[in-house]
Structure 1
Amino acid sequence: MTVVRELSGRAKAMLRAVAAGRGELSGGREPDLYVDGLPCCDQMVSHDLVHAGLLRARRVVRLDERADAELTDEGRAAIA
């Protein structure tokens, strides 16, 4: 069974920022999203987007570093 949950406007804006190349993710189980170098205002949504498979880091990230974020195919479909 697939559960479909509608994304909030904030979540879609976060995905659009990543799509525009403005996002970075920190390392760890609960990666934080940074947009334009600043921490995103809603880290819970950031965690949800990563865990839902909508966005990911472009490379493996250690706890003390950040990497550029990218959308998955599912993430691109979510904002199409």
Structure 2
Amino acid sequence: MNTTTITTITPRDRAVLRAVAAGRCVYAAGTLLVDGICCCDQFLGPRLVREGLIASQPGPAHLTDDGQALLAAA
């Protein structure tokens, strides 16, 4: 994992990463949808993409290798 990324994650970050891992999220047009509803923190999805924890391709969101490692360590 890149040392310039998030060193600690918040409970909200962890919950969203778990939702992504469970297949409950879609990333579309820079917006993260959880269970079909916009994430309450509009900056969270783009930040997790920028930090390299979730993939930025439109469609079903999925964790990157760094995201999986961070979630496993949390």
| TM > 0.5 | yes
Q: Percent identity?
A: 43
Structure 2 residues without counterparts, runs of 5 or longer: none
2:41 paired with 1:42:
yes
Counterpart residue number, 1:18 = 20
Counterpart residue number, 2:11 = 9
The structure that is strand-richer by fraction is 1
**Alignment length (residue pairs):** 70
Query: Once the 2 structures are TM-superposed, how far is the Cα of residue 5 of structure 1 from its aligned partner?
Result: 2.1
Query: Larger radius of gyration, structure 1 or 2?
Result: 1
Letter in 2 for 1:50: V
Q: The residue matched to 2:8 in structure 1 has which SS? A: coil
Letter in 1 for 2:52: G
TM-score, normalised to structure 2's length? Answer: 0.84
Between the aligned partners of 1:55 and 1:44, the Cα distance in structure 2 is: 13
Cα root mean square deviation, aligned? 1.7
Between the aligned partners of 1:5 and 1:19, the Cα distance in structure 2 is: 20
4+ runs deviating over 6 angstroms: none
Between the aligned partners of 2:52 and 2:66, the Cα distance in structure 1 is: 7
Q: The residue matched to 1:34 in structure 2 has which SS? A: strand
